[in-house]
Structure 1
Amino acid sequence: MTAPLLAPARTALAMDDVVLTYPDGDSRVAAVDHVSLEIGRGQSLAVTGPSGSGKSSLLAVAATLTRPDSGHVWLATGAGPVDLATVSRARAAELRRTEIGIVFQQSNLLASLTAREQLEAMAWLDGRPSRARRRAAGDRARELLELVGLGAAGDRTVGALSGGQRQRVAVARALMNDPALLLADEPTSALDTEAGAAVTDLLLGLVHEVDVALMLVTHDAAVAARCDSRMHLVDGAPV
């Protein structure tokens, strides 16, 4: 299959008939069962479904953490569309650094770093940065912390941040390299109602403010209803 013409429609991610299976005794079970979808920059897609329905498996495919059995996963990049279903592990890791931001259920912050340093560390992932790049990373980190409402907390360590603040830092970190695609896997499940609502407001606001495509895995119907589009999975298949 040739790459779809993504640019005119501002499509950031396009999945075409994606299948992912896992071994189950003598047979295989479908975790993602013939899923097709599109998400444009500035748009959000909620993925819902019961436990074990394939929500996180679908997100893992989009994140290049799992390669599907078949189908295509087109990601728009500055150099043109890339099929994530066929890239090497090294290329997948590079795309996660540069084009894909991921927010997990837990913030997964490094306890020894301040909030600002959590973001600046992204500049070190592909080698020791130059002095100019370190300055640019510092400026970008401060800008993003302001954007997520933590401009005054840049020098605080993880232990001095609340759960909601930690997840805000995680969101900012995921945006550090200006990705085309932001993936969030139940990002509020470990938070109380108030903090969870604040993180949801933040994510949906950032979709438009930084012009990123958002795939949000959630069990919360109210959150899903606020997204631009929704996909409900049962046994890996859209229903």
Structure 2
Amino acid sequence: MTKSSEAGARPARAGAFEARIEVRDLTMAFGDFVVMRDLNFIVRRGDILVVMGGSGCGKSTLLRHMIGLLEPARGEILYEGKSFTRASTEERQHMLRRFGVTYQSGALWSSMTLAENVALPLAEFTDLSEWEIRAIARLKLSLVGLKGFEDYYPSQISGGMQKRAALARAMALDPDVLFFDEPSAGLDPISTRLLNELIIELRDSLGATIMVVTHDLASIFMIANNSVFLDGISRRMIAQGDPRELRDHCDIPAVQKFLRPDFESRAEAQTDG
């Protein structure tokens, strides 16, 4: 397994080497079918970690394990040293309130305005007044560049704006950890870049730790200072580190093939030479 010793082009803030998330000996399975086995990695405070790998290797399945939608076949997940996997229902609910999650589709409620979507977790999990909730919803939408769109419905805005509105909702409770499942799916290159810039800005301004599932290479190289590579053939994690370092120095063919689309043609040229 290859690991990068560098913090990346965008190092995390002070205290970054303190583990925010730790995955220990995690095996993911559906019945007798093993998706991934023996996953071990650490996400440091302030990291933007990308989960990479080919289609069907278990990237989104890993994210669902991280937020408790699926339970491990073996192993555990810890947040700041406390076991999320073995926590009681009450303890897990308390930990979940420190997470923000955006799904590939955005998952906004179509019958609610953007402000009402953002206000929903605030109304559900806080004792704030209606006026305070409305004010926070406006603030969160403003932070993602949607000031003035509070009363719009999801169907009235573009796909990129829907992604940002979903992020505003994920930020509603000021989470310590943000999870993104294919955030750039369905977006044009300009919208993707704007969303990536927003993710970096949130990490830098809020000190959040961020975990992103994506196969988009431009996004990976733009936002990540850490990554894990899941190999669908061996069903194991075969590399971890800054994706730029893995691209330039990792000698594992599967990793090179993923991070360097020209890898096979370059290898053939070297063989012919």
When normalised by structure 2's length, the TM-score is 0.74
Amino acid at match of 2:59: K
4+ runs deviating over 4 angstroms = 88-91
Question: Which residue identity does 2:71 align to in structure 1?
Answer: R
Amino acid at match of 1:102: V
Partner of 1:185: 181
> Does 1:163 find its partner at 2:170?
no
Aligned residue runs from structure 1 range 1-239, under 5 A: 9-23=17-31, 28-76=32-80, 81-89=81-89, 91-96=91-96, 98-126=97-125, 130=127, 132-226=128-222, 227-235=224-232, 236-239=235-238
Question: How far does residue 90 in structure 1 lie from its aligned partner after superposition?
Answer: 5.7
> Residues 47 and 37 from structure 1, CA distance in 2 versus in 1: closer, same or farther, beyond 3 angstroms?
same
Structure 2 unaligned segments of length 5 or more: list them. 1-14, 239-273
Tell which structure's C-alpha radius of gyration is larger.
2
Instruction: Give 3-state SS (helix, strand or coil) of 2:167's partner.
Output: helix
Where 1:173 maps in the other structure, the secondary structure is: helix
Residues 1:17 and 1:177: Cα distance change in structure 2 (over 3 Å): same
Alignment check: 8 A CA contact 1:12 1:180 kept = no
The offset of 1:91, in angstroms, is 4.7
Provide the residue aligned with 1:3 in structure 2.
none
The one-letter amino acid of 1:109's match is: L
Which is richer in strand?
1
Give how far 1:204 is off.
2.3
Separation in structure 2 between the aligned mates of residue 179 and residue 32 of structure 1, nearest angstrom: 28
Aligned with 2:46: secondary structure? coil
| Residue 138 of structure 1: how far off its partner (Å) | 2.2
Contact 2:16 2:44 survives alignment (8 Å): no
Q: Secondary structure at the match of 1:102?
A: strand
Matched residues in 1 for 2:210 and 2:19: separation? 11
Shift of the alpha carbon at 1:29?
2.6
Task: Report the Cα distance in structure 2 between the residues aligned to 1:217 and 1:102, rounded to whole angstroms.
Answer: 11
**Structure 1 position 164, deviation (Å):** 0.5
Moved more, 104-113 or 132-141: 132-141
State the 1:209 CA deviation: 1.4
Letter in 2 for 1:54: G
Counterpart-to-counterpart distance in 1, 2:86 and 2:36: 17
- Distance of 2:107 and 2:46 partners within structure 1: 26
2:227 is paired with a residue of what secondary structure? strand
1:61 Cα deviation (Å)? 1.0
SS in 1 for 2:110: coil
Give the partner amino acid of 1:16. Answer: R
Identical-residue share of aligned pairs (%): 25
Q: Go from structure 1 to structure 2 and tell me whether the alpha carbon gap of 1:228 and 1:101 turns closer, same or farther (over 3 Å shift).
A: same
TM-score by length of 1: 0.84
Alpha-carbon offset, residue 196 of structure 1: 2.1
- Give aligned pairs, total: 221
Q: CA deviation at 1:44?
A: 0.4
SS in 2 for 1:170: helix
Offset at residue 41 of structure 1 (A) = 3.0
